[in-house]
Amino acid sequence: MAPRLFDPNLYRARADYRINGVRRRLVIDVDPPARGEEVLERTNDDIGVTLRFLHEPHGLLVQPQVVALRPNVALDRVEPLVLEQRGTRKLRFFRQGWQTWSGTSSFGTNVAEPRPRGRWLGEITRHCAAPNDVAIGHFNSELCTCACDLAERRSVVLGYLTTRSQFGGFEIFAEDPMRTRIVARLPFEGAAIEPHQIRACETLLVLWGEDPAELLELFASRLGRRMSARVPRARPVAWCSAHAFPNIDEELALQCLERASAGTEGIPLEQFRLAQGYQLAIGDWLRANDGFSSGMARMADEIRRRNMTPGIWLAPFIARPEASVVRDRPEWFLKGPRGELRRAVYNPAWGKLSAAKALDTTHPGALAWVARTVRTLALEWGFHVLELDFLFAATLPGRRHDPSATGAQALRTGLEVIREAVGDQVHLVASGCPLGPAVGLVDSMRTGPDVAPTWSDWLVQRLGGNYELFPSTRNAIRNALGRTFMHGRLWHNDPDSVLPGDQGLALGVEEARTLATVGALTGGSLVISRDLASVPQGRMEIVQQVLAIQDTLAVPTSTRCLDLLAHDFPRLLWAARSDGGGYLAVLNPHDEARKIGLALDAYPLLEQQLREGDELHDVWTHRKYAVRNHGLDLGLLPKHAVRLLPVGGANPRTTPRKT
């Protein structure tokens, strides 16, 4: 048997801190135990660090903690584990983005990690502790990562089993082909520690095995159990008014409600969600603008009267300068180095001359205001689906009311207050949200940036590095594939709308099929963001088809990305059906037509499902493909196309379900 990939060996752990602003470091020489349990303690005059190692049959747990031994200690960073691999193997690495809009994919060692252009964009997509240098073979990953030797089928996954206090992440140094390192980091962001105060660090899990997707699923399952993840049973079908911003008003909303409640054949819409555009200002969530003169409570009543669940959008941790909460309570907001209100995000659609400010979710007054806001929306007005957006704002660096709190703690505290205020029956959807601290508090998590009426555009390519942040169907699909392993284990994945926008038919029919296929197979909800009166019949039939297919899936953890570590943009998705069969989705994400063929021996799961001579029928084109010579040749696939192939089991029902 080949040795494990990145097997622990001698390394140096460290803790970086400051005393009265002077930087210091405690370095610990570590010889990890080969088995069993071991506790290592090291101290100096300032701090003490404890590392507890616990071996499992196929894994290792590392539990660090830090104690201050004198006053005026500010803790910056702890590195509890460093793994090293020597040799010239061609490794690939999985990069988990920090928040929902951050790019997620795998890389080889010969590329540099994509970055958005501009420091302020970097603040949105990357944690402040992540290094800013861009170098070939140097990657950052948040929450978890994976390294894989595809040729020898050896993989290692590292991830944090607790996510309440720090944004645990990893740095991967693969510039030297003879020596590759994975460094686990726990950023404390200069949090103050009182003398003799013990600060627990997040628990780190290392897993070894063959299949990287299987290891990531095992990690997510354990994280979900440890953090009491919320995984809804139902797969809701929702209509959302996002397409109508900034022109949404009460009259248009009621017209759309009439069409949605009347029902569309085979698409039983269960939720009606109002996106941004109803509020007086960003931050004035309980004051409707002149376009909604009857108020939002009445709108919720109208939705319920039509037997649909009302939903509403808000960004609870930001507010623009004109909002009453900013004018009346500036002390509730995060402060910059000169005492100014900390910028959270600039959106020209909200106002061209100023940016929204970041709420300080460690301030008791701010937390009480958030609780009152969501309690009114959910419990008094009856919006039982809350779409919480721009949540990263709570984590931004700045002067907080509680100087001992990290950004992860600030976000977790804010989300805990929201969950406590609305109770367990309200469905929380998170967007623009750093992932870890939300586990156990939200029901659905967006997996990527907004989808768009186009595959990609100049803004995505020039400013977003063609990788993250800006609305992009391409990047939303790639992220949804990369985060498949989280669905049903940490929350319901929400890949955004399967039918976006009303800006013509900029998405071709192949692209529309790909978006709908990936959305249906990887997510726990199906959202339509178009005026139903403007949807061509052909596009509606796509939604009807994937909705019927979604009904046949084994839930909630039935889907796996088979080539997650093999390509920068995965192309193979397997979704198990409740009858024992499954669906194989094969994508061509490239910008030109490509010949696509699969060698089954490269995918053990497919080897188990397919036999020589099996004939597969594509759901979309009705073309037939046969298994020959232990492979599957799909021929020339158009750019951005997908083939959706039912495999085995009983004949799946692919006719629309009744409304």
Q: What gap in Å lies between CA 379 and CA 596, rounded to an integer?
A: 52
pLDDT tens digits along 295-343? 999 999 999 999 999 999 999 999 999 999 999 999 999 999 999 999 9
Residue 265 confidence (pLDDT) above 60 = yes
Rounded-to-5 percentages of helix, strand, coil across the chain: 25, 35, 45
Q: What gap in Å lies between CA 542 and CA 513, rounded to an integer?
A: 7
- CB contact set of 537 (below 8 Å; sequence gap of 6+): none
Amino acid sitting at position 331? E
pLDDT tens digits along 456-484? 998 999 999 999 999 999 999 999 999 99
Please report the pLDDT score of residue 41 as a whole number. Answer: 96
CA distances from 585 to 559, 599, 628, 647 (A): 11, 15, 18, 10
When mean pLDDT is compared across 81-90, 341-350, 351-360, 463-472, the lowest value belongs to 81-90
Other beta carbons less than 10 A from residue 436's beta carbon: 29
When mean pLDDT is compared across 497-506, 539-548, 624-633, the lowest value belongs to 497-506
Please report the pLDDT score of residue 654 as a whole number. Answer: 54
Using alpha carbons, select from 309, 290, 307, 304 the residue that is nearest to residue 250: 290
- CB contact set of 352 (below 8 Å; sequence gap of 6+): none
Using alpha carbons, select from 275, 268, 267, 272 the residue that is nearest to residue 239: 272
**Average pLDDT of the residues in 645-656:** 68
Q: pLDDT-based confidence at 504, cuts 50/70/90?
A: very low
Using alpha carbons, select from 370, 494, 384, 522 the residue that is nearest to residue 430: 494
How many angstroms separate the most distant Cα atoms in the chain? Answer: 73
- DSSP code of residue 452: -
Counting every residue, how long is the chain? 659
Average pLDDT, the chain: 93
Please report the pLDDT score of residue 506 as a whole number. Answer: 76
Give the sheet arrangement for strand 318-319, strand by strand.
318-319, 356-358, 343-345
Q: pLDDT-based confidence at 502, cuts 50/70/90?
A: low
Q: What gap in Å lies between CA 566 and CA 94, rounded to an integer?
A: 10
pLDDT tens digits along 529-580? 888 888 888 888 999 999 899 889 887 678 999 999 999 999 999 999 988 8
Q: What gap in Å lies between CA 163 and CA 397, rounded to an integer?
A: 18
Please report the pLDDT score of residue 55 as a whole number. Answer: 94
Residue 226 confidence (pLDDT) above 50 = yes
pLDDT tens digits along 266-276? 688 999 999 99
Q: What gap in Å lies between CA 216 and CA 208, rounded to an integer?
A: 10
Q: What gap in Å lies between CA 276 and CA 245, rounded to an integer?
A: 7
**Average pLDDT of the residues in 170-190:** 93
Please report the pLDDT score of residue 556 as a whole number. Answer: 67
Give the sheet arrangement for strand 594-599, strand by strand.
594-599, 631-637, 624-628, 615-617
Q: What gap in Å lies between CA 156 and CA 168, rounded to an integer?
A: 17
Residue 658 confidence (pLDDT) above 90 = no
Please report the pLDDT score of residue 653 as a whole number. Answer: 52
Using alpha carbons, select from 177, 201, 178, 94 the residue that is nearest to residue 140: 94
**Average pLDDT of the residues in 237-263:** 91
Record the pTM: 0.96
Give the helix ranges, DSSP H, for 307-406.
324-328, 364-375
Token representation of residue 297:
């409570």
For residue 499, count CB atoms less than 10 angstroms from its CB and return exposed for 0-12, middle for 13-18, buried for 19 or more: buried
Residue 591 confidence (pLDDT) above 60 = yes
When mean pLDDT is compared across 112-121, 283-292, 491-500, the lowest value belongs to 112-121
For 406-416, letters b (16+ CB in 10 Å) and e give bbbbbbbbbbb
* Residue-by-residue DSSP string for 520-577: HHH-S-EEEES-GGG--HHHHHHHHHHHHHHHTB--SS-EEETTTTT-SS--EEEEEB
- Cα four-point dihedral sign 29, 16, 42, 139: negative
* Residue-by-residue DSSP string for 493-508: EE---SEE--STT-S-
Of the chain, the percentage scoring pLDDT greater than 90 comes to: 80
pLDDT tens digits along 84-94? 998 767 899 99
Other beta carbons less than 10 A from residue 509's beta carbon: 15
Other beta carbons less than 10 A from residue 25's beta carbon: 13
Q: What gap in Å lies between CA 560 and CA 168, rounded to an integer?
A: 25
